[in-house]
Amino acid sequence: MSNAPQSEASTLSKIYYSKPSIGPLEAEYAADAAANGWAEHCFDYLNRFEKEFAEWLGVKHTVATTGATGALHMGLVALGIQPGDEVILGDINWIASAAPIVYLGAKPVFVDVLEDTWCLDPEKVEAAITPKTKAIMAVHLYGSIADMDALLDIGRRHGIPVVEDAAESMGSRWKNGQRTGTMGAYSAFSFHGSKTMTTGEGGMFATNDDKIAHTVKALNAHGRLPGQTKQFWADMIGYKYKMSNIQAALGCAQMQRLEDLIERRREIMAKYRARLGNLPLALNTEPEGTVNGFWMPTIVVNRDVKTFDRQALLDDMVAHNIDARVFFWPLTMLPMFEDKPQNEISYSLYQRAINLPSYYDLKDDEIDRVCDIIRRHV
């Protein structure tokens, strides 16, 4: 139960779990695209956005999409994933990571994650490999980075491509300084309204592989191969995951502010760490030599705090006009998959964890409000 009287709680300002930072530049670009981005100019912002994102990320090819889900889907098609194939991924994830595997009639193989990063456990990955394994999907959760050295080594030894779901890791860097999304066979980013940068909805496919890029560019345009000159001619059955020019205009404006948007997430994470560091809980990890973009600050209460009640904490936040966001459920708990409680860490994490509000305009006194409620429950 909340400790705040009803009248007091109703006067508190709303704290959202996330929201975008949209300013005059975004409005200017979007209005220009709406007014002038037609006929021969219909792809101007789209082409610019893809180019600028590729340069920032440090890859050869990018394809702007309607979302990270479509980017993951087309990448799996380009890898040749077929019905009956297996793709290994972590059990703690959002459904969008697993859904494209199912679209293709393949089987997602859910393995446990590490306690500190919440990302794939390499030992569990290696143990799960069978002759049907055709890909390993490394999801960089909440900004934390999967152990890419270990996963890429496993992939090389077994001849299995590693792909990166980098939807939540904008601004994160691995130990060698490489950005997430540049190390696997391909990667997918998300520009949903909750992400560090946004195009409203939207995503980006990225790769250094010329062959994969050629295929995905065709798939994203109803199956028209790049360079095809015949009008209304499709070379294969494709999809329509193409981002709109108006969305791309928002993306171009956000690209100009991207480093500031990333740094603000890191500042907010530092404020949470300073306020909550003495409590029996863990926050998003940042191993030595890495950089975490800290998309979604998260607390995981220690196992030995037997009195912790996640639902009571969530209810208290809602009562104080604070958006409450749960940690992802293990995907094998969802009705379309088989339970797998042997993924012990995954089945423990979700019960002890919540995401904390994080967005550009979040104020210090609002962070204090969130932390005050956490202290009452941990």
Stretch 194-212: mean pLDDT: 98
Q: Which residues pair with 187 in a beta bridge?
A: 164, 206
Q: What one-letter code names the amino acid at 141?
A: L
**The model's pTM:** 0.96
Q: What is the DSSP letter of 4?
A: S
Distance between CA atoms of 301 and 279, rounded to whole angstroms?
A: 9
Judged by DSSP in three states, 239 sits in: coil
State yes or no: pLDDT of 6 exceeds 80.
no
Residue 62, pLDDT score? 98
Take residue 116 and report the two structure tokens written for it. Answer: 């500190």
Tell me the torsion sign for CA atoms 226, 240, 163, 201.
positive
Stretch 49-53: mean pLDDT: 98
Domain ranges of the chain: 6-12+258-377, 24-256
Instruction: Please enumerate in sequence order all residues whose Cβ is within 8 A of that of 334, keeping only pairs 6 or more positions apart, or say none.
Output: 95
Residue 2, pLDDT score? 47
Distance between CA atoms of 56 and 112, rounded to whole angstroms?
A: 32
Is the separation of the CB atoms in 73 and 101 below 8 Å? no
Residue 4, pLDDT score? 57
Residue 8, pLDDT score? 57
pLDDT in tens, 143-184: 999 999 999 999 999 999 999 999 999 999 999 899 999 999
Residue 3, pLDDT score? 55
State yes or no: pLDDT of 359 exceeds 90.
yes
Angle between helix 44-57 and 245-256 (nearest 10): 40
Stretch 12-21: mean pLDDT: 96
State yes or no: pLDDT of 10 exceeds 90.
no
Distance between CA atoms of 307 and 127, rounded to whole angstroms?
A: 35
State yes or no: pLDDT of 37 exceeds 80.
yes
Give the number of other Cβ atoms within 10 Å of residue 57's Cβ.
20
Q: What is the mean pLDDT of the chain?
A: 96
Q: Of 356, 197, 374, nearest to 284 (Cα)?
A: 356
Judged by DSSP in three states, 314 sits in: helix
Residue 176, pLDDT score? 87
Residue 212, pLDDT score? 98
Take residue 39 and report the two structure tokens written for it. Answer: 């006929």
Residue 1, pLDDT score? 42
Stretch 21-45: mean pLDDT: 97
Cα 121 to Cα 8, 10, 67, 112, 147: the distances in Å are 45, 44, 26, 6, 8
Distance between CA atoms of 378 and 373, rounded to whole angstroms?
A: 9
Take residue 148 and report the two structure tokens written for it. Answer: 């890419």
CATH no. of 24-256: 3.40.640.10
Distance between CA atoms of 235 and 13, rounded to whole angstroms?
A: 55
CATH no. of 6-12+258-377: 3.90.1150.10
Stretch 285-295: mean pLDDT: 97
Is the separation of the CB atoms in 329 and 341 below 8 Å? no
Residue 9, pLDDT score? 62
Strand stretches in 224-335, DSSP E: 281-283, 298-301, 325-326
pLDDT in tens, 235-289: 999 999 999 999 999 999 999 999 999 999 999 999 999 999 999 999 999 999 9
pLDDT in tens, 116-139: 999 999 999 999 999 999 999 999
Take residue 271 and report the two structure tokens written for it. Answer: 């404020």
Residue 324, pLDDT score? 85
Give the number of other Cβ atoms within 10 Å of residue 41's Cβ.
12
